[in-house]
A and B are shown apart, each in its own frame.
Chain A
Amino acid sequence: MTVIKKALKAKVTPIILVTILVMILFQTRNSSYLSLSNLKNLMHAMSFAGTISIGIAMLMIGGEIDLAAGAEAAFAGVIITLLIEAGVPWPLAIPITIVFGMLCGAVNAVFVNKLNFMSFIATIGIMSVYTGLIRVITQSKNLPISNQGYYKVGSALVFGILPLPFVIMFVLMVAYGLILAFTNFGRSIYMCGGNRQAARLCGINQKKLSTILFLNNGALAAVAGLVLASRMHSGSPTAGDTGALDAITASVLGGVSFMGGAGAMVNCFFGILLLTVFNTGLTTSGLPPYWQIVAQGALLLLALFVDFVNQRSRIRNLERKNAA
């Protein structure tokens, strides 16, 4: 009984229920929605923004944000394409690209921690710089990857069913989820996001932590980008356009608080699942694509609203306890 009660009270339960409801709804509109091939598509579709959302969620828990994450991912996709086309063997090109992603993260960290810019406005500027640079490098064309060996990263199936990008995202989510929940480092991220002043007084080096989170976010964005490049057989200049916003929406949907200090990887997973289910469902039921833009904004607002209600009930509970 207590297990059931606990499950009902968990923050993530409503979103799972909503996801199931939405899936059933789309299934009634299009009977092939829950077919195996479509589910595979779903897994592919969620893995890009899902991988980015890991880094984004960690940043948000720590009280920062990176709006350039999508552009960083696209940049990484272009870089690995250039590396492979220049003859670098792909197993070597992958770590180089990840280091490149970390460099992008370091740029963010410099602006935010050295120059004290607000992370959201600084990363908007950086996003625009990267987006432009990517278009300069690619001349706004898709750069094809000719090394067929590299295609495997994006299209291989684990156990014959699960697409590799999905498995990569899932394994990373589990790993980061464990770090967040059980390590000193993970717990200090919450502290930093929840109450910066208190964290500093407890001896946590907030700037160092935020730098680590930005580097980490850059690396994860690079992973997302290089996997996507492999899946699309090319480095695409537009690949990352919606990446950061999708990842933020997914994190907030899953209950990562925008004020910092709350959230977990489980939430992130179900957040990105719901978002992807929604987007693919809208496409398969034949609505014009611009409804997706509206739906995205509406979903984000809904998520914020749920966050608001949660926060309020938490505060009320605390007050009641204090009064008693």
Chain B
Amino acid sequence: MKQKKLKSTISYVFKSKMLTLVMLLVVVVAVFTIISKGQFVDPKNLRNILQSITLVSLLTIGAGMLMIGGYVDLSLGGTGTMCGLIAAYALRAGAPWYLALIIGLVTGALAGTFNAVLINELKFQPFIATLSTASITQGLGYIVNNGQQIDIDNSVFNFIGTQRIADFVPYSIIISLVLLLIYGVMLKNTKFGRSMYLVGGNPQASLLSGLHPKRVSYILFINAGSLSALAGILLAARLKTANTTGIVNQQFSGMTAAVLGGISFGGGAGGMGGALIGILILNCFNNGMLIVRVTSYWQTVASGALLLIALAIDFLRVSRTKKAS
């Protein structure tokens, strides 16, 4: 009897989503630590990993929430880059830091609204509509300053972008972690958060049960646009310059992390806890590739392969739950 109980506990633990993810993370860390002969867990390198997590997590929150609601936005990278440039432009034109920040964020929100209008009012497919806004925002980013980078010389921006607590934990990562926590709690414990799952899982049913899928979709796109703007601005603040490559195409990293973390592409499933581990796996992987000196070409291959692997894991998970039910 006792043995049976133990067995079921073990099988429960093994079936849990979170554990698989944590184990995957441990494997990634272990493999890279061994290959790099300990260089991977060197404090200096852990510092770098923390830094890289900041941006990806913002994009992951935005992209992940959209995916939970059944949408996708391929323009996040272009939007974020454009907003970084616009904020830098505002700073150079003499705006105080908070105004520049607000201008950048509002531009991101506007880009999100534009996407939401295309998708809700004109009934464009999210993926193709945002594919075209991706090239528009990317082009507009070039136009802000004729394709030139804009240097940032502002003490507040520099502080947020480059300073660290105890010379180790960057201040900017606190923003990301706090946001992850807030969004996670909201998804789990609020009515609005729960409604998002219903909208993503079955928009028709959500409409019939008195929810507003359209309103949810507007909020999600505006939210993702603003978060990507924040990511673009933070990157510019860190580099002390806003350039036109910025975070272009980084939305795929956000999506990969979200899928790795258990947010399903079909909508209606996943959460921020998993997303955080997805982000950690992705960043440890990318950083590990750098540490073991894999050429950047192979990194392109690996990032695509990682997305496919994440999708395959998602596929296995979905087919297993289908079988179970």
Contacts known (A121-B311, A125-B307, A290-B143); A132 close to B135, Cβ less than 8 A: no
Contacts known (A126-B308, A300-B131, A301-B129); A116 close to B315, Cβ less than 8 A: yes
* CB-CB contacts below 8 Å: B264-307 with A: 265, 295, 297-305, 307
Which of A117, A128, A296, A301 makes the CB contact (< 8 A) with B315? A117
Q: Which residue of A lies closest to B310 (CB)?
A: A125
B258 CB to nearest A CB, Å: 11
Contact present for B139 and A297 (CB under 8 Å): yes
* CB-CB contacts below 8 Å: B131-148 with A: 131-140, 142-143, 146-147
When distances are taken between beta carbons in the complex, the residues of chain A under 8 Å from B118 are 301, 304
When distances are taken between beta carbons in the complex, the residues of chain A under 8 Å from B1 are none
Which of B140, B305, B315 makes the CB contact (< 8 A) with A294? B140
**Is A39 an interface residue when CB atoms closer than 8 A count as contact?**
no
Cα A133 to Cα B300 in complex, Å, equals 8
Contact present for B265 and A121 (CB under 8 Å): yes
A5 CB to nearest B CB, Å: 29
**Is B122 an interface residue when CB atoms closer than 8 A count as contact?**
yes
Cα A300 to Cα B127 in complex, Å, equals 12
Q: Which residue of B lies closest to A259 (CB)?
A: B125
**Is A131 an interface residue when CB atoms closer than 8 A count as contact?**
yes
**Is A120 an interface residue when CB atoms closer than 8 A count as contact?**
yes
Contact present for A132 and B307 (CB under 8 Å): no
Q: Which residue of A lies closest to B296 (CB)?
A: A135
Looking at B122, B138, B139, the one whose CB has the most chain A CB atoms below 10 A away is: B139
Cα A51 to Cα B162 in complex, Å, equals 49
When distances are taken between beta carbons in the complex, the residues of chain B under 8 Å from A300 are 128, 131-132, 135
Contact present for B315 and A135 (CB under 8 Å): no
When distances are taken between beta carbons in the complex, the residues of chain A under 8 Å from B129 are 301, 304
* CB-CB contacts below 8 Å: A94-129 with B: 111, 115-118, 120-122, 124-129
**Is A185 an interface residue when CB atoms closer than 8 A count as contact?**
no
Contacts known (A118-B265, A121-B265, A288-B146); A131 close to B300, Cβ less than 8 A: yes
For chain B, give the interface size range.
Answer: 35 or more
When distances are taken between beta carbons in the complex, the residues of chain B under 8 Å from A122 are 308, 311
Contact present for A125 and B131 (CB under 8 Å): no
Cα A124 to Cα B310 in complex, Å, equals 13
A307 CB to nearest B CB, Å: 8
Cα A213 to Cα B142 in complex, Å, equals 37
Contact present for B122 and A308 (CB under 8 Å): yes
When distances are taken between beta carbons in the complex, the residues of chain A under 8 Å from B72 are 121
Contacts known (A259-B125, A290-B142, A308-B124); A298 close to B304, Cβ less than 8 A: no
- Complex interface bits, A128-151 against B, C-beta within 8 A gives 1, otherwise 0: 111111011001100000000000
A63 CB to nearest B CB, Å: 11
When distances are taken between beta carbons in the complex, the residues of chain A under 8 Å from B315 are 115-117
**Is A3 an interface residue when CB atoms closer than 8 A count as contact?**
no
When distances are taken between beta carbons in the complex, the residues of chain B under 8 Å from A292 are 139
Contact present for A136 and B298 (CB under 8 Å): yes
Q: Which residue of A lies closest to B136 (CB)?
A: A297
Q: Which residue of A lies closest to B304 (CB)?
A: A128
Cα A122 to Cα B255 in complex, Å, equals 12
Contact present for A297 and B297 (CB under 8 Å): no
Cα A265 to Cα B307 in complex, Å, equals 33
When distances are taken between beta carbons in the complex, the residues of chain B under 8 Å from A127 are 304
Cα A129 to Cα B255 in complex, Å, equals 16
Q: Which residue of B lies closest to A249 (CB)?
A: B132
**Is B252 an interface residue when CB atoms closer than 8 A count as contact?**
yes
**Is B35 an interface residue when CB atoms closer than 8 A count as contact?**
no
**Is B312 an interface residue when CB atoms closer than 8 A count as contact?**
yes
* CB-CB contacts below 8 Å: A293-321 with B: 293-298, 300-301, 304-305, 308
B158 CB to nearest A CB, Å: 28
Which of A125, A126, A131, A258 makes the CB contact (< 8 A) with B125? A258
Contacts known (A116-B315, A125-B311); A301 close to B127, Cβ less than 8 A: no
B319 CB to nearest A CB, Å: 8
**Is B191 an interface residue when CB atoms closer than 8 A count as contact?**
no
Contacts known (A127-B304, A290-B142, A293-B138); A132 close to B252, Cβ less than 8 A: no
Contacts known (A122-B308, A126-B308); A132 close to B299, Cβ less than 8 A: yes
Q: Which residue of B lies closest to A298 (CB)?
A: B136
Contacts known (A111-B308, A126-B308, A297-B133); A248 close to B300, Cβ less than 8 A: no
**Is B4 an interface residue when CB atoms closer than 8 A count as contact?**
no
B140 CB to nearest A CB, Å: 6
Contact present for B252 and A124 (CB under 8 Å): yes
When distances are taken between beta carbons in the complex, the residues of chain B under 8 Å from A304 are 118, 122, 124, 128-129, 132
A12 CB to nearest B CB, Å: 20
Cα A242 to Cα B132 in complex, Å, equals 13
When distances are taken between beta carbons in the complex, the residues of chain B under 8 Å from A290 are 139, 142-143, 147
When distances are taken between beta carbons in the complex, the residues of chain B under 8 Å from A116 are 315
A203 CB to nearest B CB, Å: 26
B114 CB to nearest A CB, Å: 10
A108 CB to nearest B CB, Å: 11
Looking at B124, B140, B147, B255, the one whose CB has the most chain A CB atoms below 10 A away is: B124
When distances are taken between beta carbons in the complex, the residues of chain A under 8 Å from B304 are 124-132
Q: List 26 A-B contacts (CB under 8 A).
A: A111-B308, A116-B315, A120-B127, A124-B304, A124-B307, A125-B304, A126-B304, A128-B252, A128-B301, A130-B304, A131-B300, A131-B304, A132-B304, A136-B295, A136-B297, A258-B125, A288-B142, A288-B147, A293-B139, A294-B135, A296-B132, A300-B128, A300-B131, A304-B132, A308-B122, A308-B124
**Which positions in A face B, CB cutoff 8 Å?**
111, 115-118, 120-122, 124-133, 135-136, 139-140, 245, 248-249, 252, 258-259, 288, 290-298, 300-301, 304-305, 308
| Contacts beyond the supplied A290-B139, A304-B132: 17 A-B pairs with Cβ under 8 Å | A116-B315, A118-B265, A120-B127, A121-B72, A124-B307, A128-B303, A130-B304, A131-B300, A132-B298, A136-B295, A248-B128, A248-B131, A296-B139, A298-B136, A300-B128, A300-B132, A305-B122
